[in-house]
Amino acid sequence: MTEAPLYPPVPAEVPPRFTSPSTAYRVRTLAVLAGLFAFLLLYLALVAAACYAAYWLVLHPPPIPRGRGAILVLVAYVGSLAALGMLLLFLAKGLFKAQRADRQTYIPVTRQQQPELFAFIDKVCEETTAPKPAGVYVSPDVNAAVFYDTSLVNLVVPPRKYLLIGAGLVNAVGLREFKAVLAHEFGHFSQKSLAVGRYVYVANRILGDVVYGQDSWDDLLRQWCAVDIRFSFPAWGLRGVVWVLRKGLGGVFRGINLMHLSLGRQMEFNADDVAVSVAGSDAIVHTLCRVEYADRCFAVTARELSVAADHGLRTRDLFHHLALAADYLRVRNNDPTLGVPPQPPAQVFDPGAAGDGPPAMWASHPPNHEREANAKRVPLPTPPDDRSPWQLFRDADAVRAALSEVFYAHILGKPGKGEPTDPAEVQAFIDAERTETTYDPKYHGLFDNRPLRVGDPAEPNAEPAGDRLAAFFAAYPPPDLAARMAAYDRRQGEEHILSGLKSGQLSLKGTTFSFRDREVQMRDVPGLFEMVEQELAADREQFAAWDREMYVAHYWAAHRLDPARAADLRRRYEFQLRVQHWIGELAGWQGHVEATVGNASGRELGADDFAALLATLQEAVRILENCHAEAERLPCPALSNVADGTRLNELVVDPGWRPPVFREGSIGGEQIGTLLTGYRVTLDKLRRVFFKGLGNILTSQERIAADFRAVAGAGTIQS
């Protein structure tokens, strides 16, 4: 029996002109071209005005008076010419900056290396009537794209188009879906609107540099403004002109991008049509479902492999762990259908389940339910094909290993030293981590995303009688916990919506909305918000009471079994509370720094504002260094993959990080980035330690409770 060819069939009876651009597509293309033309006219008018002003000044020098006035006139004349020259440079500097796609995570592949892959690509190009890509690259992530480099030349000469294939996507889809992805991208290759795209990119580069670019030109203007006012007044005039230009061109920049984003959504629909025409109605929709889930798996795997790398374990096959992460998340969420699209003709995406993404006007892609409706408007079935696209790669193991090295070097920022580790050994480490951070379902999320509140572990309440301990363990966790946690989750969702309505971040489609089975109006929002806040506060107080009861009962039960076990539990709680303290402290300061820097960005700071910013940054550095200093003194209890007595700083401090120094007159973006990176890395690692420690406490308590019940049942513990 011969093996089926590695190429899925096309659907039968594709309607004529199925892939022709829609009216909405053509209208948006014309709108973008009109916007670009208007920008060109405005831009040329500004350049012409600056040139004419300089020309007029050269031809009409002012008369030079005698005496001290001569110096003032000369300064004004020469300064004005210099200011006009700088204005021309300001307008033109964006023209000559080429835009090259970042390829640091890409690995080029050639026809000689991967003949089967290129044969597959050639066949898809033939069926879609698209030109072949100028080159093919692979990357570790869950992605596929058309990319190209642009420069001023590309206003006349079309750029060379390249195909990017993300191996994370290859890992997640079948051959039919992989064909749909390539056909979608080749649909972009053949779209005439990509020519509009390159004009938009060049316009954006010019506008972006003029509106937002801060470089040596701005430094020179600031230095000129800093000299004596008798010599710097032309610079202050130029500064005002530039401020007006930046504000005005900023509006043009946003307008062109809005129109291009709207066109981009139509381009996605059209590219989906191309995919449907060669792979069927369901293929591209199923791909969207699988890719959404694959993105989640990639994020989880990246975090886990980063932790493993901190322990000296670096896998040679990232994609082995991606596949296992998909299985793990299904088990953890008790949903075997996660990332698995339903069988046709079932609806894959629920229009009512749209996420909290950007507003439609700022989205570059249509929502998935709209893409599904577009793809299925004409049913074009094709048989499923679950064979892995990895079969198209020769020596796939070598490709996966090379991409894994790229992943460590450029995505995790942890380039490898020496030989990578066998994936099975790395996965064993990951499994141990998961075991400790996956809590028993009986807690129904009671310990998720909240701090413990147990008071001082060194001062537990008075020892309860043995029968009271037995009664506690018989009723813990509370039998109605599932209902209580479901109600708490609902209240959190209500708080989120009411807070958004109250702040204006959310708005109503009508005049009323449904709240707890009744219709309410905007005027009711403040009162409802206060009510929900009070209910949540009561919930959290109840959780705190449970935390305290839980600790006291398990501490004294452990003490009756063996005082050493009680001492170990107390030590774990004390460690947990210190980690918890620093998570709260650093998270608060991280938010404060980000808000302060955000408020200071894009505007001139007065002396008081600059001093306040400097003080905030200096204090933020001090707080982070205090955390690192305490972590150096704080020994960890035994955890999975962590030996007893390991200093906390070994787990939470990046050895290569150095605190930035902020001084008067010296606040740079790189320094702020270094500070925020230190906060982000430390917080991520502290949270990992927190969840590990909490999982260890819960499993330790479960063993204590089981042992206590067994011993108490045997009658060897006195009340």
The region of weakest confidence among 9-23, 202-216, 241-255, 490-504 is 202-216
Q: Mean pLDDT: which of 51-55, 174-178, 507-511, 665-669 is highest? A: 174-178
Tokens of 120: 């597959």
Domain count, the chain: 1
Please determine, for residue 511, whether its predicted confidence score (pLDDT) is greater than 90.
no
Please determine, for residue 288, whether its predicted confidence score (pLDDT) is greater than 80.
yes
**Is residue 668 a part of any domain in this protein?**
yes
Residues 6+ apart with CB under 8 A from 451: 580, 583, 584
Distances from the Cα of 65 to the Cα of 72, 74, 158, angstroms? 10, 10, 57
Please determine, for residue 509, whether its predicted confidence score (pLDDT) is greater than 50.
yes
Please determine, for residue 480, whether its predicted confidence score (pLDDT) is greater than 50.
yes
Q: How many CB atoms lie within 10 A of CB 458?
A: 9
pLDDT digits (tens, 9 = 90+) for 392-430: 999 999 999 999 999 999 999 888 778 899 999 999 999
The answer to whether 416 and 408 are in contact (CB under 8 A) is yes
> Over pLDDT 70: what percentage of the chain?
90
Please determine, for residue 357, whether its predicted confidence score (pLDDT) is greater than 80.
no
In which band, very low, low, confident or very high, does the pLDDT at 193 lie, cut at 50, 70 and 90?
very low
Distance CA 282, CA 179 (A): 12
The whole-number pLDDT of residue 195 equals 55
Residue 556 C-beta-side C-alpha neighbours within 13 Å: 22
The whole-number pLDDT of residue 191 equals 54
**Is residue 552 a part of any domain in this protein?**
yes
Residues 6+ apart with CB under 8 A from 38: 252
Distance CA 190, CA 21 (A): 11
**Is residue 115 a part of any domain in this protein?**
no
Which alpha helices (DSSP H) does 21-114 contain, by range?
A: 23-59, 69-92
Measured torsion, CA atoms of residues 583, 586, 588, 592, in degrees rounded to the nearest 10: -160
**Is residue 252 a part of any domain in this protein?**
no
Distances from the Cα of 506 to the Cα of 352, 367, 601, 611, angstroms? 16, 19, 25, 35
**Is residue 190 a part of any domain in this protein?**
no
**Is residue 152 a part of any domain in this protein?**
no
Question: Considering only CA atoms, which of 112, 103, 114, 99 is closest in space to residue 162?
Answer: 103
**Is residue 536 a part of any domain in this protein?**
yes
> Over pLDDT 90: what percentage of the chain?
53
- Residue 135 phi/psi, 5-degree rounding, is -170, 160
In which band, very low, low, confident or very high, does the pLDDT at 449 lie, cut at 50, 70 and 90?
confident
Residue 325 C-beta-side C-alpha neighbours within 13 Å: 24
**Segment 66-71 mean pLDDT:** 75
Residue in this structure with the two tokens 């918000």, named with its chain if needed? 529
**Segment 156-174 mean pLDDT:** 88
**Is residue 497 a part of any domain in this protein?**
yes
In which band, very low, low, confident or very high, does the pLDDT at 351 lie, cut at 50, 70 and 90?
confident
Distances from the Cα of 533 to the Cα of 450, 539, 540, angstroms? 16, 10, 11
**Segment 544-559 mean pLDDT:** 95
User: Which domain does 650 fall in, by range?
Assistant: 443-713
The 3-state DSSP class for residue 658 equals coil
Distance CA 325, CA 455 (A): 37
* Mean pLDDT taken over the chain: 86
Side chain identity, residue 627 = C
In which band, very low, low, confident or very high, does the pLDDT at 232 lie, cut at 50, 70 and 90?
confident
Please tell me the pTM assigned to this model. Answer: 0.77
**Segment 664-690 mean pLDDT:** 89
Q: Quick one: CA dihedral 5, 8, 9, 10, positive or negative?
A: negative
In which band, very low, low, confident or very high, does the pLDDT at 540 lie, cut at 50, 70 and 90?
very high
**Segment 686-697 mean pLDDT:** 94
User: DSSP state, 130?
Assistant: P
Q: Mean pLDDT: which of 3-7, 18-22, 386-390 is highest? A: 386-390
In which band, very low, low, confident or very high, does the pLDDT at 715 lie, cut at 50, 70 and 90?
low
Comparison of pLDDT for 581 and 610, the residue scoring more: 581
Distance CA 642, CA 39 (A): 60
Kindly tell me the burial class for residue 269, based on how many C-beta atoms sit within 10 Å of its own C-beta (0-12, 13-18, 19 or more). buried
